[in-house]
Amino acid sequence: MHIDARRLENHSLIEGDLCIVGAGAAGISIALDWINTPFKVILLEGGGFELDPAMQDLYAGKSIGQKYYSLEAVRLHYFGGTTGHWAGYCSTYDDIDFEKRDWVPRSGWPITKEDLEPYYPKAQQILELGPYEYDLAYWQKKYPELVPLPLDNQVIWNKIWQFSPPTRFNTRYRSAIVNAKNIHLYTYADATNIEADDTVRTIRQITVKNLAGKEHTVKAKYFILACCALQNARLLLASNQQAPKGLGNDHDLVGRHFMEHLEVKSGLLQLPVKSSLRLYMLNFMGLRMRAELSTTAEIQKKYQILNGTVSLSPELVASREKPMIELFPKKAAQSVEMASSFVKELRAESKSKANEKQYTSFELFTRMEQSPNPNSRVTLDTVKDALGMPRIILDWQLTEQEKRSIRQLYLILGQQIGVSGSGRVQLMEWLRKGDDYSWPDFLGGGWHHMGTTRMGENPQTGVVDQNCRVFGIDNLFMGGSSCFSTAGSANPTLTLTALVLRLSDFLKHKFLK
């Protein structure tokens, strides 16, 4: 069922069993999971079904730290959320991503990968990925032509990725949601305030507003905030009527530990003879999978480094591509257009079998986790948006550990390539000096926002518990990558979808009790 909140009588009361704030990958995945249940689910979306510059402006904010993308364009404020311009790269998190690592401050989730395992296959289906298989042996058996570089797998392993079409939740799931009798989708219902009771133990209601000047109240037994890591933190911090520091923020953790994946051109692999290295090439048609190179958990421990991967692209092709941080537009409509052409190009390349051509030079590109850093954070500005919500200030801060980890990753890879006799590796200029912790201008992120309402063992270490419930508040849950305790090396969408399906399951059990 779909209701346009602009057309409701002003000050309407909306009531349901479960209220999900945000209709992006996280919110829609939960809503899909509740279709045909006996419960009334309210799904609130700030925007409509089409991109609207006025809605995007509500996301605008200041970036005062490490150079970052336009906050107005990097997330999409409409039904389907940021899946409107994602590229669809997916992989599971590794066991080590969940573990406490004594060399990574504040690492360790209160859950393990095993806790997410039951939910990954379903997340895989929602994101229209292939079989839930992330083991190289499976793919090699199926496609013997996928030959890995002859590296010591005790040191470097092949991490498998799969590619979503990419699923645009807006078009893919719109009719399923709109036609579901028990899912009440409200568009143009932008959550601007969460009101708790006087003890701040229970959420009483949420206020939604729109640019048509309407304001409504939403009541439910349980509330899930699933409106992206930046917005989740913003909403908690701005909801300060009962809790002056913001909801769930007694220990000053909301908005802190903002994490991204560092994405950056880093080096070159030179081979003595031409090779297609097909296993490692982007392939959006046919196989829709590839491998990236990563250090094993043992090696990460030995060298005290973060988790990261190296992807390979023919240098001839990659050298023509500008870094995303330089290309990314200021406006959302252009970013959607750019994403669409990017996917078209990848499909055309795959069709033309360009990825089967042989080369001797391959560009090496890093995707590295960021260590949880309390100084990397989202705060509220004094400037407000058109709905009266304080805008955000993003202070993306990196540490020496990320730089050291990237450099060490390539030194290890270079050694292993040398041992194997398959070629040689060259570091880019910015990585050559071991005591240089500066970053190049072309360092970007993957538009992956994580950690702002991190999961912890207790309220001193996290905003939410192992079930994504805000510590101290019985009926408020956070959905999505804002709950991630560490960033892992893989893109977050598959894991955040698995995590919200786990949350969904947890809440179903609560309702059925």
Site for another protein in 393-412 (CB under 8 A): 410-411
423 binds another protein (CB under 8 A): yes
350 contacts: CB under 8 Å, gap ≥ 6: 282, 283, 284, 285, 286
* Nearest CB to another protein, comparing residues 266 and 495: 266
CB of 267 to another protein, least distance (A): 8
Listed in sequence order, the DSSP H helices in 34-158 are: 53-57, 71-74, 95-98, 113-116, 120-126, 136-142
Residue 438 DSSP label: -
435 binds another protein (CB under 8 A): no
CB of 370 to another protein, least distance (A): 24
Site string for another protein, 142-171 (x = CB under 8 A): ------------------------------
Please identify, among the stretches 195-203, 284-292, 413-421, 461-469, the one whose residues bind another protein according to the rule CB under 8 A.
413-421
* Nearest CB to another protein, comparing residues 200 and 318: 318
317 binds another protein (CB under 8 A): no
424 binds another protein (CB under 8 A): yes
414 binds another protein (CB under 8 A): yes
Structure tokens given for 209: 């507003």
CA dihedral of 246, 499, 18, 233, whole degrees rounded to 10? 20
Please identify, among the stretches 34-42, 92-100, 108-116, 420-428, the one whose residues bind another protein according to the rule CB under 8 A.
420-428
Site string for another protein, 3-42 (x = CB under 8 A): ----------------------------------------
Containing H/E element for 477? Answer: strand 476-478
Structure tokens given for 468: 């994504």
Report which of 293, 359, 365, 292 is spatially closest to residue 324, judged by C-alpha positions: 365
419 binds another protein (CB under 8 A): yes
CB of 424 to another protein, least distance (A): 6
Q: CA 456, 458, 464: angle at the middle one, nearest 5? A: 50
Is residue 46 within 8 Å of residue 6, measured between CB atoms?
A: no
16 contacts: CB under 8 Å, gap ≥ 6: 39, 40, 41, 42, 184, 218, 219, 220
What is the phi/psi pair of residue 74, to 5°? -75, -25
Residues of the shown chain interacting with another protein in the complex, contacts defined by CB under 8 A = 267, 270, 272-273, 410-411, 414-419, 421, 423-429, 431-432
